[in-house]
Amino acid sequence: MNFLAYLRSVSSKFLHHSRTAGEMEDELCSHVQLRADDLESTGMSRAEAERRARIEFGGFERYREESHHALGGSFIETLLNDVRISYRKLRKSPGFTLVASLTLALAIGANAVVFAVLNGLILRPINVPRPASLYGLERGSYKAVNHSYPDYLDFRNRNRTFEDLAAYNLTSVGLDTGSGDPVGSWIMETTPNYFDALGIQPYLGRLFHASDDHGPNSVPYIVLTHAFWHSHFHDDPGVVGRVVQLNKHPFTILGVAPPDFRGTILFVFPDFWVPLTNQEQVEGVYDLNERGKRNLLMVFGHLKPGVTPAQAVADLNSVGAYLEANYPKDDSQMYFTLTRPGLAGDWFGGPLRQFLSGLMLLAGLILLAACANLGNLFAARAADRSREISLRLALGSSRLRVVRTLFTEALMISALGAVVGLWGSIVILRGLSTWQPLPTAPLTIPISPDAKVYFFALLLALASGLVFGAVPAMQTFRTNPYELVKSSSGYRTGRRMTVREVLLVVQIAICAVLVTSSFVAVRGLVRSLHANLGFEPRNAMLVETALSMAGYSGDAVPAMQKRMIDTLQAIPGVQSVGLVDRLPLYYGANYTNIFSDKTSDLRPSNVAARPTMYLISPEYFQAAGTSLLSGRAFTWHDDTSAPRVAVINRQLARKIFGSVSAALGGYFKLENVTRVQVVGIVEDGKYETLAEEPRAAMFLPILQSPSTQTALVIRSERDQQEIAAAIKRTVTGLDSGLPITLRSWNQELESALFASRMATLSLGVLGILGAMLAVTGIFGMAAYSVSKRLREFGIRVALGAKRAELLHTAMGRALKLLAFGSAAGLFLGILATKVLAYIVYQATPNDPMVLGGAVLAMSLLGLLATWIPARRALNVDPNLLLREA
Amino acid sequence: MTDQAQLLPGTLDLLILRAVSLGPLHGYGILLRIGQISGNALLIEQGALYPGLFRLVRQGLLKASWGTSENNRKAKYYELTAAGRKRLQQETDNWNRLANAIRTALSAEPEEA
C-alpha cells in the first residue's frame, strides 16, 4: 500500500473531519441525482426517478459507514473514542486519577532529575570538538591525575600516539580591572598550547598559542570565558587589548572563548585562562622546573587518528619507564591508564559515577514500585468493572478492543503523570543549574534538561503505562464472560498468592530498600557531624587570603603574616590567632614524602610515610583547638636559624616510630634530605574528607617553610557579627589592597559536608517517596480487600466474631505480605548500602540503629496504611449490610 | 435481470480499475462503464461501489477530483494513478491465470483408465 497516500487520507480525515464527511455525503447524493437524471430521461417523473434512484442505490447509511471505514482513519477514530471513554471514566473517579497520576509524577520526576544529572555529568562529554578521542592521563596504582611540569614535557615530547598534550591547573588570583580593588577570581592556568590541542576557535580576538611561549613570565595574556565577559565586561567587544592587573602584574586580554566552551572540567567553570608560563606572577612561586612537584591538575590530549587507547597506554608506559630509569629520585609508578578528562580523573569521577548510577538504580526502583502500585490499583478497578467487561465480552466486543480501552486509560494516566513530573523536574533542574552549592568555590552542576531528558521521561511514561496497564489486561484475557456474569463478585480468597499480592510484596520490598538506604545515609551524616575533626570549628573565624594576590613575595610574606597575627591578636576578646597555609577539610590537602632517619637513599620506593603537610604559626594549635598530646608546639624562635622541627599526629608517630613516646625527640628526613626533629605530638583529625580512615599528618613551622597561602584562625567568644566587623576593619587597615574572605569555620565546613549532605538529601527524598508508595500500596490493597469482604465481615459479626478475630481476618493477609516484603527489602537494602560507603561517612548497614529504624519505619508505615481499612472493618454494621443484600 | 451473475469477492476492485483505466469517470459513470464493458452481465448494488472506491483511493491506486458532469452536475471524477495502472496489470494477469486454470479444470474430460 502507498503509505503516504494512507497518511494523507488519514490526516485529511483527522484534520478536516467534518469536511471529509460532508464531501462524501455530497458524492453519494450526486450519484443518486445522476441516476435520477438518466431515469428521468426515460420518461419517468422527477420524483419517481429520484425514488427509484435511491432504492437502486441500496442502504445509504450502511454504505456511508462502510465508505467511512474504507477511507481509513478508523484507528484514529477508535483511539479518539477510547480517549473520550477513558477521559469520562477518569473524571468519574477524580480521587483515583489524582493519586495515580501524582504517584507517577513523583516517580517520573525523580527519574528525570537523576537522569538529567547523570546526563550532565557523566554521559555528556566536555564540550570540545571530537570529544571521543580526548583522554586524560592517570598515573600508577593511585590513578593520580596530577603530574609535574618536567614530566609533562617528557610525556608531550616523547610520546608518539597523541596529537598533542596540554595541561592545566586550577587556582585563584586577584583580578583588578582598574578599580584598584582586586576581586578573587577562579582561573585555569594552562599550557600555552591548550586551545590548539583542543581545537577551540576564539569568539572574539585571539587565543594564546605555544608560539607565544618564550620562557617564564613571557606570556602576559589572558583569555576570558564568554560568561565572565558577559557578566564582568557587559559583552563589550572593546576589551580585547585591554590591560588588567593579576596579582598586581599587568596582563593583556587577548580574546574571548566561544560561549559553549567553559573549560575542561565539567563542574568548575573558570573565569578566564592564564598561561602556566607566567606561574610566578600568578602563584607567587615558580616550580615548573621541579620534577617532584606534581602540581598540574590534569594532562590530556587527542589521540592521533587510528590510535587505540591500548596503544597509547603502551606508548606512555615506555616513556614512563624511561623517566623512572633517569629520575629514580622523583619518578616512580610511571605506568598509565587513560580517563575521560571532564571529571578530573577517576579519583573524583569514579565515586561520583558509582553514586549517580546507584541513585539512578534507586530512582528506577521507585518507578518500578510506582508501577506495581498502579498495576494493583488498576487491577482492583478492573476487578470492580469485571461485570461490565464480561458483559461487553458477552455482547461480542473483542477482547482486543476491551484491552485497548484499559491500556488507553493507563497511558492517559501515565501521560498526565509524565507531564506533571517533567514540569516539576524542570523546575528543580533550573534551580540546580543556577545553584552555587559552595560560596567559596566555582562549583556548578552543569545540567540543563535537554531533548535526551524529555525523551527519557516520555519513554518512562510509555513503558510504565504499558507495564501497569498490562496487569488488568492480563486479567481480562483470563476472564470467562459466562462465569463472571453468573456470579456476583470476582473476589476469591485462596491460599495461593495472586498477581496483585506478588506485586504488593515486590513494591514493599523496593520501598524497604529505599527506606533502609536513606536511613544509612542519614545515620552516616549524623555521625560525620559528631566525628572528632581534630579541631574545634565553634567560635572560630577564618580569614583567608593569598598574599601573592597583593604582590607580596620573598621576605615580605612572613613579615606581613606576623603583622597580621599580632594586630588581630590585639582585638579585644580575641583569645588566640593561628595561621595555617591550607585549612584541613578544604578541597584536598598537600602531601609530602618523608623517610626514616636511617634511610640514605631517598628514592620514592623507600618512603616511610606520606603524611598531609601543614605549615603553621606557633599559636595555630591553640587557635584551632587541636590538643597537644605530648611535647611542645612551635615558638617564634623556630625559624631558619634554628634546628628544623616538626609536630606530628598520633597516627604518624605510630607509623614511623611505633609509639607516641618513642616519637618524641626522634628524627626523620624530608624529601630534600633535611633532618627534622619531632618536638610535639597532637591528636588525630580529619584532613581531606570526613569519610577518611585515620591519616598521618605533619605540621612544620611557617618560619622554616614559608608559604604565601594564608588562612588565619581567630578564636573568640565574642559575638560573631561584632568580631567579624572588627577583623575586617583590622585587615583592611593593614593593607586595603588585600583581597580576603572572612567567614566562620562552621561555614567553611559546608564544603567538607557537601558530598554527604547531597547524598543524604537525595537518598532522603527517595526514601520518603518510597515510604509514600508503600503506604498508598498497602492502603489500596487493604482498603480494597476490606470493601470486597464487608458482607462477609457483617456475617461474621452477626455470628459473634470478636474484634480481634475480625481484625485478624481483615488485616492478617496484608500484614503478612508487608512483613514478607519488608524482610526482603531490608536484606537487599543492606547489600545496596555498600555503594553508599564511598560517599557517606561510616555508611555501615551493620548498625542496630539503622536496622531498628528501618524495621520500625516499615511497621509504622504498615500500621498507618492499614488503620483506616481496619477501622472500617471493625465498624461494620451487620444489620445494614445483611439488609442490603 | 435474473441472468446477471453475482460478483466474486474481491473482483469489484478489479472492475473499477479496469473501468477507470479507459478514462476519468465519476462513480455513477464507473457503474455504467462496467455495465457496458461486461454486457450488463454483472449484478452490482450501486452503493457498494463507494466503499470500494474509497479503499482504492486510500491505497493510492486512484486519485479523485471534483468536476462537472455532462448534464452540469457536480461530481467527483476518478482516474488511475501510476500505481493503479501497475496494479491493474498485475491483477488482470492473476485473474487470467486463475480463470484459465479453473476453465481447464472444469473442462477436463475423464480419461479412459
SS in 3 state form for A7-20? HHHHHHHHHCHHHH
In angstroms, what separates the C-alpha of B102 from chain A's closest C-alpha?
29
- Beta-carbon separation of B26 and A60 below 8 A: no
Is A450 at the interface with chain B, CB within 8 A?
no
pLDDT at A1: 47
- Beta-carbon separation of B71 and A37 below 8 A: yes
Give the range of the structural domain holding residue B25, as residue numbers without chain letter: 5-104
Is A2 at the interface with chain B, CB within 8 A?
yes
pLDDT tens-place string over residues B42-66 = 878 888 888 888 888 888 888 888 8
Chain B hits for A37, CB-CB cut-off 8 Å, are 71, 73
**Closest in A5, A23, A60 to B59, CB measured:** A5
Q: Which residues, in sequence order, are CB contacts of A521 under 8 Å at separation 6+?
A: A756, A759, A760, A763, A764, A836, A840, A843
Extract the C-alpha cell encoding A155.
Answer: 610525556
Q: Which amino acid is at A390?
A: S
In angstroms, what separates the C-alpha of A398 from chain B's closest C-alpha?
24
pLDDT at A627: 92
Chain B hits for A62, CB-CB cut-off 8 Å, are 47
Q: Does residue B42 sit within a domain? A: yes
Extract the C-alpha cell encoding A859.
Answer: 511497621
Is A29 at the interface with chain B, CB within 8 A?
no
Chain B hits for A63, CB-CB cut-off 8 Å, are 47-48, 50-51
Extract the C-alpha cell encoding B42.
Answer: 454483472
- Beta-carbon separation of A2 and B59 below 8 A: yes
In angstroms, what separates the C-alpha of A11 from chain B's closest C-alpha?
11
CA A777 to chain centre: 28
Is A27 at the interface with chain B, CB within 8 A?
yes
Question: Interior CA angle at A365 toward A363 and A367, to 5°?
Answer: 75
Q: How many domains does chain B have?
A: 1
In angstroms, what separates the C-alpha of A40 from chain B's closest C-alpha?
12
Is A46 at the interface with chain B, CB within 8 A?
no
- Beta-carbon separation of A30 and B51 below 8 A: no
Name the residue in chain B with its Cα closest to that of A4.
B60
Total CB pairs under 8 A between chain A and B? 87
In angstroms, what separates the C-alpha of B77 from chain A's closest C-alpha?
10
Please choose, from the candidates A845, A836, A786, the residue with its C-alpha nearest in 3D space to the C-alpha of residue A815.
A786
Q: Does residue B111 sit within a domain? A: no
Chain A hits for B46, CB-CB cut-off 8 Å, are 31, 35, 56-58
Please choose, from the candidates A690, A698, A749, A744, the residue with its C-alpha nearest in 3D space to the C-alpha of residue A720.
A744
pLDDT at A269: 80
pLDDT at A472: 77
Please choose, from the candidates A464, A359, A366, A465, the residue with its C-alpha nearest in 3D space to the C-alpha of residue A825.
A366
List chain A residues with pLDDT less than 70: 1-21, 65, 69, 71-77, 344-351, 396-398, 436-446, 448, 476, 479-497, 587-588, 691, 751-752, 832-846, 880-885
Average pLDDT over chain B reads: 84
Q: Which amino acid is at A799?
A: L
In angstroms, what separates the C-alpha of A58 from chain B's closest C-alpha?
6
Q: Does residue B28 sit within a domain? A: yes
Q: Does residue B47 sit within a domain? A: yes
Q: Does residue B110 sit within a domain? A: no
- Beta-carbon separation of B60 and A72 below 8 A: no
DSSP state of A50: H
Yes or no: say if A506 and A468 are a contact pair by the CB < 8 Å rule. Answer: no
Under DSSP, is residue A679 helix (H, G, I), strand (E, B) or coil? strand
Q: Is the pTM of this model over 0.80?
A: no
Chain A hits for B61, CB-CB cut-off 8 Å, are 2
In angstroms, what separates the C-alpha of A364 from chain B's closest C-alpha?
44
Q: Does residue B24 sit within a domain? A: yes
Yes or no: say if A192 and A277 are a contact pair by the CB < 8 Å rule. Answer: yes
Is A26 at the interface with chain B, CB within 8 A?
yes
- Beta-carbon separation of A31 and B27 below 8 A: yes
Q: Does residue B109 sit within a domain? A: no
Using H for helix, E for strand and C for coil, what is the string for A841-875? CCCCCCCHHHHHHHHHHHHHHHHHHHHHHHHHHHC
ipTM of the complex: 0.87
pLDDT at A158: 92
Q: Does residue B97 sit within a domain? A: yes
**Closest in A26, A33, A58 to B45, CB measured:** A58
Extract the C-alpha cell encoding A616.
Answer: 603553621
- Beta-carbon separation of A70 and B51 below 8 A: yes
**Closest in B27, B60, B71 to A27, CB measured:** B27
CATH of the domain at B45: 1.10.10.10
pLDDT tens-place string over residues A577-635 = 999 988 888 766 788 888 888 888 777 778 888 899 999 999 999 999 999 999 999 99
Name the residue in chain B with its Cα closest to that of A59.
B47
- Beta-carbon separation of B59 and A1 below 8 A: yes
**Closest in A24, A26, A59 to B47, CB measured:** A59
Best interface-test mutation with B: which of A6, A67, A74 has the largest number of B CBs within 10 A? Answer: A67
